[in-house]
Chains A and B, each alone.
Chain A
Amino acid sequence: DSGVTQTPKHLITATGQRVTLRCSPRSGDLSVYWYQQSLDQGLQFLIQYYNGEERAKGNILERFSAQQFPDLHSELNLSSLELGDSALYFCASSAPSLGTDYGYTFGSGTRLTVV
């Protein structure tokens, strides 16, 4: 158990629908990062939150949004789903201060299948 909890583990939904993925970071970590992993694209950074505030954006589609709540858990919302959104979605968290060797800890992911 990495300490980063992602739910659900699997999600099957139809095109055009909306889903919410949830992430609870490791205890004490303030940063949450969302990544998308598909077979041909590797691990693509989507968005980062730090202590409730958006800190960085990567290749996140406008149909996708995220937020981090006061208890530091984060949700990734995917709407108007398309077949191409099928992928593994990972959440990671990192230590609150620079200079540590914790690194980024990843959850076990949510496998999204859009049919």
Chain B
Amino acid sequence: GESVGLHLPTLSVQEGDNSIINCAYSNSASDYFIWYKQESGKGPQFIIDIRSNMDKRQGQRVTVLLNKTVKHLSLQIAATQPGDSAVYFCAESGGGTSYGKLTFGQGTILTVHP
């Protein structure tokens, strides 16, 4: 029979376009957020992080935006390149008893067409 699995959101863009990947988190006590990139056959790789006392942070070609009011996180990639094709995960580190461990979102598949 047909297997049931996660249906990851997908985003397909042309090379050179800007990409925006979104993530909703659930724990209002989370105080640290990270975006990871995972390429096929590899482990998740750190892209950029943000603490809860900030609402925006920029890196090289990437920007993370945090909206604590609606518990929403986004990753913007400027001038997307074919090498950016991967699965992107957001992760949150909560306070209290969950301090120290990351909880991951389901991921978004980004495909960049040359």
Do A and B assemble together?
A: no
A residues with CB within 8 A of B:
none
